[in-house]
Structure 1
């Protein structure tokens, strides 16, 4: 079964291998998640699985979601996420998913929103080179020309300019699981994960 779960980023640290090498790792708290809905798509030969994460009081969500959970005799969840799976035999509504589904040495994809850095200029956002800083120069960090004149007479969409930096969905593939702690539902993956501490993240293992 393809495994998809939701969790939160705890932070970064380092662990030491048996050879004494320092390995930078990110600690993730994953699940427990509950399967809340399954939809079979025979034409695509896969099953869409909806999972819920983090219990919430009914007065904190919409009436539509309350009815969705009530019809399946499930508690209310704050976050919902849908994944695709090829094997439908081990998929049952109400089944709990946790880090026990994973193994040390597995490779996972982690998705989340990167840290927002506000409105940023050309140099910081796109790594443009600046102008000369000597006396008399009037172009230090200015944009300069952004396009031709009469023809085409406009700026093409997608032009790299100053603007919002960060706060975008980023996926990091093939992060190796180094350590799993089933008591705390945490796992350590080698490398960095997008977002700051406490950010919501989704993991996916093929």
Structure 2
């Protein structure tokens, strides 16, 4: 599946052809350099490794710098792989631009790291509904989790019980979004709907329209 690396800029909205106001996410996609090509013979699977967004050379290790030097590229901040994909006629050191991979109307999956919210109660973490109208003496249990298991049987709390804990800061995939507009001169793409992560967060954008059945 083809794809590129992006960075979340923020959200806005655009009007479609019939006058509907469509919310979109603005994503910056700089030219992505092909830094490695993996094959079934050498690596056990087929993939293309791409890197994007410049990084200062002093902030990378010698081994990582050597990897970029081999591809004739400056050090990059983000490196990702896209399985079973290699652009025709391109090799290590070549650059992929927005229009090489995406066109308006393409269906995409967007992967990012969601915003971390720290240690969170069950109401916020799992969207619990609470007591409701708070009748029958429920004076201080409005945001409590309730029972978490039996006493004598089964005498334990089952694994996976919805309780308070770490919320967010995890890999999230938003499926079946679409490319609304492309601004190649500004390295910007408008993707319908919302995508995971904060402003400035890195994204994997997979083009599902390029998959052939």
- TM-score normalised by structure 2 residue count: 0.86
Equivalence for 2:21: 22
Question: Does the Cα contact within 8 Å between 1:47 and 1:88 map onto a contact in 2?
Answer: no
> How many residues are matched?
205
Distance in 2 between the 1:128 and 1:31 partners?
41
Higher helix share: 2
Question: Does the Cα contact within 8 Å between 2:2 and 2:85 map onto a contact in 1?
Answer: no
Equivalence for 2:71: 72
Say if 1:88 and 1:29 are closer, same or farther in 2 by CA, change over 3 A. Answer: closer
Question: Does the Cα contact within 8 Å between 1:106 and 1:176 map onto a contact in 2?
Answer: yes
When structure 1 is superposed on structure 2, of 117-126 and 132-141 the one drifting more is 132-141
Question: Does the Cα contact within 8 Å between 2:10 and 2:199 map onto a contact in 1?
Answer: yes
Show the 5 A alignment for 1:153-172: 153-172=155-174
Equivalence for 2:83: 84
Equivalence for 1:112: 112
Equivalence for 2:103: 103
The SS at the match of 1:75 is: coil
Structure 2 segments unaligned to the other structure (5+ residues): 209-213
- Find runs of 4+ consecutive structure 1 residues off by over 6 angstroms: none
1:3-47 CA-partner distances (Å, limit 9, x unpaired): 221111111111112322212111111121100001111599962
Equivalence for 1:124: 124
Q: Say if 2:134 is the partner of 1:133.
A: yes
The SS at the match of 1:35 is: strand
Distance in 1 between the 2:85 and 2:53 partners?
26
The SS at the match of 1:183 is: helix
Question: Does the Cα contact within 8 Å between 1:45 and 1:86 map onto a contact in 2?
Answer: no
When structure 1 is superposed on structure 2, of 159-168 and 125-134 the one drifting more is 125-134
